[in-house]
Structure 1
Amino acid sequence: MNGGTMAGQIAGAGKRPSATETLGALVPLVPSLLAMAWLVSQAKWFWSSRPDLNFGWVVLILCCYLLWDACERGVTLEWRARWWALAAGVAGAGLLFVVQVYQAAFGTNAASTQGLALGVLLICAANVGFAYGWRGVRLFAMPFAFILVSLPLPSIVQGFVVNGLQHRVAAIDTELLNLMGIPAQQVGSLIQLPNGTVGIDEACSGIRSLQSTVMASLFIGYLSLQRASLRVLLLVAGVLLAITGNVIRSLYLCLSAYHRGIESISKVHDAAGWSILAFTAVGVILISWWFSRMEAAANRLAMSARREENHREEAGADQAEQTKV
C-alpha cells in the first residue's frame, strides 16, 4: 500500500494521517515543489523591494500550511497518463520558454512574473494530474494558486486599480467634508482645503490594505467555509471593508490637516493606517464567523430534512408491506 492510498483511507475513516504519511503524499509532488521554489526565487525581489508586496513572505508560509492541510485531507495515488495533464505540462513548458526569452531580452517585470506564475501553475497541474487525477488537482489548486495574490500586477492593471481608488476615495472624502461644512474641492487625486492640499497617494488609496484583505479573505474563507457562494461573499465583504476603511482613514487625515495644519498628517499617518488594517482584519474574521454559523445551521436543517424524508419513506414502505399482508 503506497503512502497516498494510506493517507486517503485514514482520512476517509475520520482519522488524521501521521506526519510520515503526509510527507509520503508530498513525495509525488516534488516536481511541483521545485517549480514553485523557482517561482519564489523570481518573486522574492518584489517581496523585499516593494512595500505593497512585503506580505508575500506571509503568503509563502500560508501556502505551505495549505499544502500540508491538503495532504492531511487524504489523497489516493493514481499514477496514470492523462491527456489533459500532458496538455497542461506542454503548455506550461512552452509558456515558460517564451517568458524566459522575453526576460532575457527585456528584463524582469510584473507582467513577465505573472507569465512565469501561469507557466509554473500549469506544470503543477500536470504533475498533480498524473499523480492524483482530477480530484487531486481540485484538492491542491488552492495551495499552489494562492501565491498569485502576492505577485505584482501588470502595470496597466496596477495603474487602473490605483488611479481608480485614488480618485474615488478623493471624491467621497470631498463630499463628506462638504457635508460637514468644511470647504473642500477635488482636483484629481488631491483635496484642496482652505489651509492646504491633501494628496491621496498610492498608500492612502487603499491598494495595500486591499491586497492584504483579499489575501486574508481567501485564506480564511477556504479554511472556515465549505460553500463557494459564501467564500465569494466573504471576499466581496472584505473588499468593501478595505475600501470603507481607507475612506475613513483619508477622511481622518483631511480633518487633522484642516484642524491642526497640514504638518500634522505626518504624525498620524502611520497610526491611522495600522488602525484601519486592524479594523479590516477584525471585520473579515467576524464576518467569516457569522457565515460559518449560518452554514452550520443550514447544514443541520438539511440533515434534519433528510432524516425526516427517510423516516417518511420507511414508514410508507412499512405501510405498503402491511397492506400486502
Structure 2
Amino acid sequence: MALARNDKIKLALLLVLWFVVISPVLPEMVREWSGHSDNNHGFLVPLIALYLVWQKKEELAGAGLESSRWGWVVLVAGLVSFLLSLAGGVAFTARVAVVISLFGLIWYCTGARWTRLLAFPVLFLLFMIPVPVSVIGMVSMPLQLMATKLSAQIIQHLSIPVYREGNMLYFVGTQLEVAEACSGVRSIMSLTMLGTIFAYMSRNGWGRRIALVLAAVPIAMAANILRITGTGVLANFFGDRVARGFLHEFSGLVVFVFGLAVLGLLYTLLNSKKVA
C-alpha cells in the first residue's frame, strides 16, 4: 500500500518540525565525529541506516498504514527528554532522545507494521552517538593495562627481552608506550557496530545473533593485542619510529580488517546450518 498524498505531506511536515527541534545538537555531534578518531564511524551510521531502509522498500510498500497512540507517547516522551537534557547541558541523553523521538514519530505516523520493519535501521542510529569521554576514560585504562601485559607476555615467549611497567614496554634499546588511543576502544566500538549488522543479517535464531554481537568485543581485543605485539617486536629491532606515523596508522587499518575478517568468518560458520 503506497503512501497517500496526505500521508506523505503529514509525515514530511512532522519530519521537518522534528529536525528543526533537534537541530541544535547536530553540529557539535558532527564535530565530535570529525575531531576524534574513536567517533569517525559516526559518519557512516546514517548512510548504513538509509541503505537498510532502502532494502525494505518493497515490504514497506505492501504494509498498511495506521496512526498509533503509543507512537505519540514515545514521541512526546522523547522530545520532553531531549528538551530537558538540552536545558541541563547533558549532551549524551539529548542525543539518545533524538533517536527515541524519531522512532516514536515513525510509529505515530505509520503504525505497527512499518515500525517493525524500520525498528532496526532507526535504532541502529544509536551507534552514531559518541560515547561519553568519562565512560571511555573508565574503560580505556584497564584495557590499556591488560593489552600491555598480554603483549609483553607474548613478546617474551618470542625470546625477546622486554620489561613492562604499567602501560610502558621497555626493550634493550628503546621503549614503547601503549597510549589511550591504542587501548582498543575504537576497534571494540567499530566491530560491535559491524557485529550488530551481521546479527541483523543472520536468520538463524536469536542465540546466534547475540553470539555475533558479543563476539565482537573479544575479537577486537585480540586484534589489538596482536597489533601491540607486532609493533613491540618491530620496535625492538628498528626502534620506536615504527610506533609513529604511517606504519602506526597502517597497522591500525590492518588490525581492523583482520577483526572484520574474523567476524565475517564467524558469521559464515554460525549461518552454515539452520537452527532446527
| TM-score, structure 1 normalization | 0.73
1:16 corresponds to: none
Percent sequence identity is 23
1:88 aligns to 2:67 (yes or no): no
**Equivalent-residue separation in structure 2 for 1:273 and 1:133 (angstroms):** 44
Matches within 5 A, 1:61-210: 61-74=47-60, 75-80=63-68, 82=69, 84-103=70-89, 112-210=90-188
2:2 corresponds to: 3
Deviations 1:29-50 (A, max 9, x none): 7635764683644421111211
CA contact (8 A) 1:195 1:262 kept: no
CA contact (8 A) 1:88 1:123 kept: yes
Give 1 or 2 for the bigger CA radius of gyration. 1
1:108 corresponds to: none
Displacement, 1:229? 2.0
- Cα distance, 1:67–1:32 mapped onto 2, change above 3 Å: farther
CA contact (8 A) 1:29 1:127 kept: no
> Can you give the 5+ residue segments of structure 2 that lack an aligned partner in the other structure?
none
Matched letter for residue 285 of structure 1: G
**Count of aligned positions:** 269
**Equivalent-residue separation in structure 2 for 1:234 and 1:115 (angstroms):** 27
Matches within 5 A, 1:232-243: 232-243=210-221
| TM-score, structure 2 normalization | 0.85
1:281 aligns to 2:260 (yes or no): yes
SS of residue paired to 2:67: coil
CA contact (8 A) 1:253 1:268 kept: no
- Cα distance, 1:282–1:33 mapped onto 2, change above 3 Å: farther
SS of residue paired to 1:171: helix
Matches within 5 A, 1:188-267: 188-225=166-203, 227-266=205-244
1:323 corresponds to: none
**Equivalent-residue separation in structure 1 for 2:198 and 2:79 (angstroms):** 32
1:31 corresponds to: 14
Matched letter for residue 28 of structure 1: L
Displacement, 1:155? 2.0
Displacement, 1:195? 2.2
CA contact (8 A) 1:245 1:280 kept: yes
CA contact (8 A) 1:4 1:76 kept: no
Matched letter for residue 46 of structure 1: E
Q: Which deviates the most, 245-254 or 87-96? A: 87-96
Matched letter for residue 61 of structure 1: L
**Equivalent-residue separation in structure 1 for 2:263 and 2:8 (angstroms):** 32
- Cα distance, 1:151–1:125 mapped onto 2, change above 3 Å: closer
CA contact (8 A) 1:3 1:25 kept: no
**Equivalent-residue separation in structure 2 for 1:124 and 1:179 (angstroms):** 53
1:290 aligns to 2:269 (yes or no): yes
Displacement, 1:137? 3.2
SS of residue paired to 1:186: strand
